Structure 1
Amino acid sequence: MQDEPSTGPASWGDGLRFGFGTLSVLRVRVHRWDRPAAGRAMATAPLVGLVLGALAAGAAALVAWRAGGLPGAVAAVAALAALTRGLHLDGLADVADGLGSGKPAEDALRIMKQSDIGPFGVLTLLLVLFAQISVVASEFDASPARGALAVLASATAARCALALGCLRSVPAARPGGLGAMVAGTVSPAAATAATAGTLLLTAALGALDGWSAARLPLAVAAGLGCSWLLLRRCVRRLDGITGDVLGAMAETSATGTLVALALLG
């Protein structure tokens, strides 16, 4: 539920409610629906990822324990899609179609806004989902704890990418929509804090499980680097971000994190 927009500084609680209300299916009462609250929401988005990742990891670990790594991996990806209404996957497909069209920014944005999915979007979704499922399955085959932590780290990294996409130096590609609401709302200091907090958390989780403390944060850093490259590409091609671009950044960060985990062994 939403209250009327407010004015003045937004609290971190306002930001968290905005974040959970926008980025998940979890029912929360959103007291602020304005740019100050949006900035707080994008800066604290990794906390949303942490909660969603924990829910998906728990469900997936139970399935993996009873049925094996591959069913567990499918359960993890399905759970995260359900918890977000497929929001980020939809954005990824739309951005793939827009960038793949090779058309000028205005036409590419029009393609992204259409409700159907084109061949670039379908191919990108298939490759990303296959990559995510295959890596998570291999982690669950190694141990339920490793699989659960891989899900948790990738989900948190996905939402951490949103803070980078909403830096004050990044404009909106078009007026209106979620992209225009959140574009340019996160200060460099807040984005740095969100990134550092995510890396420290994943290092602590990896160390607690007996891994090298560097493996998880290195993978998260790689995932965030992939999403940053996508952001730069979208800003050059589309003159800014949209809600779809943010969704694509989230899925790119999650997939990059998982692929890096596989490469790090």
Structure 2
Amino acid sequence: MTDSFEDQPPPPPPERASLRDGLRFAFGTLTVLPARITRWDRPAARTGMACAPLAGLVVGLLAAVPGVLLLLLGGGPMLAAAVTVAVPAALTRGLHLDGLADTADGLGSAKPADDALRIMKQSDIGPFGVVALVLLLLVQVAALTEAYADSWVRGALAAVTAAVTARLAMTLASRAGVPAARPEGLGAAVAGVVPRRAAAAVAALTVVLAAAAALPLGLPAAGRHAAAVLVALLAAELLLRRCVRRFDGVTGDVFGALAEVSATTALIVLALG
């Protein structure tokens, strides 16, 4: 024997990742919650992005708690809404908001794909990004204010539904056939990893669960929550197609923009009730 056992290269990772590896990938990538990523490969990304709505569920619950507490302690619905909007930003270190701003700058630049991607990688935020951020945060707070003004239950459900839908949009954007715009970064790691049938199944299950969660408020509320998820996914799909055409694929910034746009759209639909 010329080589000891210790000198042998480690075996390649299995073709499938465990649910635990996937959850670590989802929470470690999409939140700042303590989750040590054990695998950073395509199988782990596949499981992790399919589990992304679960990360959204935790983020949504953590966002709803302080909003509800403020209402119960005598705070107004706008204060509760503002704090609820702030929590997901803190739990992602503002990365999704930053992705929205960078994507807005890239789309608004009217530059070729390579130049637009270069603009998106810059550390500063341009005028398109600033306007997009301000308007989006205003709409989110306004929509949640409407929900909290009706009841703390409706406000909490709206916050959770929006957070779950935001991550579900990422699951669908990770489906097979969606290319990456760059050979590196989060976009390259997760682009095209989720089989189309799996993505569709996760989306269908999320719509059903959103309706079921709102069912105690009545059939109209259940239908409204299901519609909110579907309309939000439609808005995310339109943005995704625009970004793929514009940038020749997706990036981590695009995923952040999809999350914020879908969450905001869901909140708008829920506020209409």
TM-score, normalized by length of structure 2?
0.93
* Aligned-partner residue type, residue 63 of structure 1: L
Q: Does 1:118 align with 2:154?
A: no
Counterpart for residue 50 of structure 2 = 43
Q: CA deviation at 1:6?
A: 3.1
> 1:4-33 CA deviation, whole Å, 9 max, x = no partner?
983431112211110001111110122111
Matched residue SS, 1:254:
helix
**Percent of aligned pairs sharing the same letter:** 57
Counterpart for residue 181 of structure 2 = 173
Matched residue SS, 1:8:
coil
Taking structure 1 as reference, are residues 5 and 254 closer, same or farther at Cα in structure 2, changes over 3 Å only?
farther
Counterpart for residue 73 of structure 1 = 81
> 1:202-257 CA deviation, whole Å, 9 max, x = no partner?
10111023352211010111111100000000000000000000000000100111
Q: Give unmatched runs, 5+ long, in structure 1.
A: none
Equivalent-residue separation in structure 2 for 1:203 and 1:147 (angstroms): 15
Equivalent-residue separation in structure 1 for 2:141 and 2:251 (angstroms): 27
> In terms of Rg, which structure is larger?
2
Contact 1:64 1:73 in 2 (8 A): no
Counterpart for residue 69 of structure 2 = 62
Matched residue SS, 1:259:
helix
Q: Pairwise mapping of residues 79-228 of structure 1 onto structure 2 (< 5 A)? A: 79-210=87-218, 212=220, 213-228=222-237
TM-score, normalized by length of structure 1?
0.96
Equivalent-residue separation in structure 2 for 1:29 and 1:5 (angstroms): 20
Matched residue SS, 1:214:
helix
Taking structure 1 as reference, are residues 240 and 5 closer, same or farther at Cα in structure 2, changes over 3 Å only?
farther
Counterpart for residue 18 of structure 2 = 11
Equivalent-residue separation in structure 2 for 1:5 and 1:231 (angstroms): 33
Q: CA deviation at 1:65?
A: 2.6
Give the total of aligned pairs. Answer: 261
* Aligned-partner residue type, residue 181 of structure 1: A
Equivalent-residue separation in structure 1 for 2:164 and 2:182 (angstroms): 28
Equivalent-residue separation in structure 2 for 1:25 and 1:183 (angstroms): 21
Aligned-residue CA RMSD in angstroms? 1.3
Equivalent-residue separation in structure 1 for 2:252 and 2:194 (angstroms): 15
Q: Which stretches of structure 1, 4 residues or longer, exceed 6 Å deviation after superposition? A: none
Pairing partner for 1:53 from 48, 60, 63:
60
Equivalent-residue separation in structure 2 for 1:152 and 1:29 (angstroms): 24
Equivalent-residue separation in structure 1 for 2:12 and 2:250 (angstroms): 23
Counterpart for residue 257 of structure 1 = 266
* Aligned-partner residue type, residue 223 of structure 1: A
* Aligned-partner residue type, residue 52 of structure 2: A
Q: CA deviation at 1:146?
A: 0.3
Counterpart for residue 24 of structure 1 = 31
